Chain A
Amino acid sequence: MSTSTPNARGRRSPFGTATPSGDTTLTGLQRLPSHTRYPLTPSRLVTATTPGTQRSTSRYTPRARGVGAPATPYGLRARQQRAANTPGRDRRKSGRMQRETTFDILRNLGRALAPVSQPIRSSPQEKPEPIEEPIDEFEQLDNEPEIERPRLSLPIQESEEEGEEASPEIHPPRMSLAFAEEDMDMTYQSVEYPRDASIRDRDRLSMMSRATGRISGDFDETRLESDGADETGIMGEDDEAEDTMMSGGDFDRGGETEDLGRFHFDLNFPSPAAAPLEDPTGGDMNDMEDFELSTAEAPPAPSDDDDDDAGADFGFGLDFPPAASPSVSPGIVGGGLRDEAIPAQGKQKKISRHGIPVPNLPAGVVKKLATRFARSGAGPKAKINKATLAAIEQASSWYFEQASQDLAAYSKHAGRKTIDESDVTTLLRRQRHINNSTTVFSLAQKHLPKELQQDMRLAMPP
């Protein structure tokens, strides 16, 4: 068909003229990629991608395609023009109404129902869940993420700066002071004061062995009943003067203040007591330390002289007991919290409380570590001068003292004579350096050089 035209002698002539059946093979070849069949106009290419046109092309019978295919350039151009001008059979499907399929029906139904309908919940499935929960709770408790290491430094620091004397939270009870100072403080609590005072006076009277001539038992009784009303009183009659006299005298006697003192310290002690409880060094070591403390430096010994100066000790009572017993303890090394730095230089040979001379860590090592970590904290150029280094050395000597006492306690508890790797890991775990997510090995990998890591691994099989 295409070969019949004389114009067909272009590129295609070899095919076309070869065989009469060349036509069919040609179309057969061309059929394979469906949209390359025509040297297409862009519009046709676009439409060919939509499924609708795909279907329409598949609807061509081979016969029809044979008819439609333009073999000559002229025919081709004519077809292109026609396709450009008129929407061909498969040019545009979108505007045309499509036949409704079952899918369309369902889709329309779905669109209509979507805003109205609720998702279906089946009732029996909800019941088993609450039964499972208690089990889950335990597992959750077990699998809870590790508690982060506490960083107490900032809050404590602030409170320290705020008030040296008293902690910010616990205020000393004001009642006693109000009574102690005389009529001045009548302004507040003045409603309660007279009645309260009178009752107290009666108690005190019963306590007191001596009886002044004027205050007889009868008088006291009457005052309780009749004068009680008056004593909301404004004016200092005889009675009021006596009241103040009485209370003042009692304070001189000291019974009240001692009570208050005891009260203070009952309040204070629970908080320090918590720390020593954790502390496994507890037991005998603490005892020994206390002993040494009391001999070496008397004043900070926490327990004995509380009763005397209750008010003055109040601030210290919070600060010292935990600090004093575990860390300051062996007075020989540290000397105390206050005087530092200079004695560290002076005493080259320190002696531990077991009487064994303690060598120092070489200053170079300490300085290297300090600069390394200071750099990571404070930027690239963190300098550490001599005094700072001395303070750090002091701190590290305290650290070693404390740590080795703890280690000794651990190993003793395990019934060993030597301090083992397991003791140190226990210590690390208590300090929360090790938890479920961090192992000794990861820490070691982070901080230690390889040889030491190897040695460590040799020592403790995982």
Chain B
Amino acid sequence: MAAVQKLYPRGTVKRIVKAHSNRSVSKNADILIFLDYMLFMQELMREASIRSRKSGEKNISANTVRKVTEVRCLRSI
């Protein structure tokens, strides 16, 4: 991605993780966390597009995303 703009706000990611974990985040760990997030998004969108295509929709609808999310919760992490 030729990002002229920054890919993501590093401070925000750090703050999110910090808030949820109640621990400080080392200087560059947020990059890896965001990398993981990107992979998550990739998979989410892949699953959603598969599912929406299966049910014959053109675009990915909110409902498919929600369904996929629940499936992910089942298996997840």
- Interface residues in A313-328 by Cβ distance below 8 A to B read 319, 322-323, 326-328
- A383 beta carbon closer than 8 Å to chain B: yes
Chain A residues, CB < 8 A from B61: 385, 387-388
Q: By the criterion CB–CB under 8 Å, are B46 and A407 in contact? A: no
Q: By the criterion CB–CB under 8 Å, are B22 and A408 in contact? A: yes
Interface size class on chain B is 35 or more
The answer, among B16, B26, B72, for a CB contact under 8 Å with A361, is B16
- A372 beta carbon closer than 8 Å to chain B: yes
Q: Mark B1-43, 1 if CB is under 8 A from A, else 0.
A: 1110001110011011111111111111101111111111110
Interface centre among A369, A383, A433 (most CB of B within 10 A): A369
Given contacts A153-B68, A378-B49, A384-B59, contact A403 B38 (CB under 8 A): no
Given contacts A378-B60, A425-B32, contact A153 B50 (CB under 8 A): yes
Q: Determine how close the nearest CB of chain B comes to the CB of A353; give it in whole angstroms.
A: 8
Q: By the criterion CB–CB under 8 Å, are A152 and B71 in contact? A: yes
Q: By the criterion CB–CB under 8 Å, are A359 and B16 in contact? A: yes
A411 closest partner in B (C-beta): B23
- Interface residues in A379-429 by Cβ distance below 8 A to B read 382-385, 387-388, 390-392, 394-396, 398-408, 411-412, 417-421, 423-425, 427-428
- Interface residues in A87-135 by Cβ distance below 8 A to B read none
Chain B residues, CB < 8 A from A396: 37, 40-41
Interface residues contributed by chain A, number (CB under 8 Å):
86
- A373 beta carbon closer than 8 Å to chain B: yes
Q: By the criterion CB–CB under 8 Å, are B20 and A456 in contact? A: no
Q: By the criterion CB–CB under 8 Å, are B25 and A378 in contact? A: no
Given contacts A388-B60, A421-B26, contact A452 B31 (CB under 8 A): yes
Q: By the criterion CB–CB under 8 Å, are B36 and A459 in contact? A: no
Given contacts A370-B41, A420-B29, contact A359 B65 (CB under 8 A): no
Q: By the criterion CB–CB under 8 Å, are B1 and A421 in contact? A: no
User: In the assembly, what is the distance between CA of A150 and CA of B72, in Å?
Assistant: 12
Q: Determine how close the nearest CB of chain B comes to the CB of A156; give it in whole angstroms.
A: 5
B61 closest partner in A (C-beta): A388
Q: Determine how close the nearest CB of chain A comes to the CB of B72; give it in whole angstroms.
A: 8
The answer, among A326, A407, A411, A412, for a CB contact under 8 Å with B76, is A326
- Interface residues in A150-184 by Cβ distance below 8 A to B read 150, 152-154, 156-157, 160
Given contacts A354-B20, A387-B61, A391-B62, contact A448 B31 (CB under 8 A): yes
Chain B residues, CB < 8 A from A361: 8-9, 12-13, 16
Q: Determine how close the nearest CB of chain B comes to the CB of A187; give it in whole angstroms.
A: 39
Chain B residues, CB < 8 A from A433: 36, 39
Given contacts A373-B46, A408-B22, contact A400 B28 (CB under 8 A): no
Q: 10 tightest CB-CB pairs across the interface, nearest first?
A: A459-B28, A408-B21, A387-B62, A404-B20, A377-B49, A424-B32, A373-B45, A378-B49, A356-B19, A391-B65
Other contacts beyond A337-B73, A406-B77: 10, CB < 8 A: A156-B71, A323-B74, A337-B70, A365-B8, A378-B49, A388-B59, A408-B22, A417-B23, A418-B24, A427-B36
Q: Chain B interface (Cβ within 8 Å of chain A)?
A: 1-3, 7-9, 12-13, 15-29, 31-42, 44-53, 59-63, 65-77
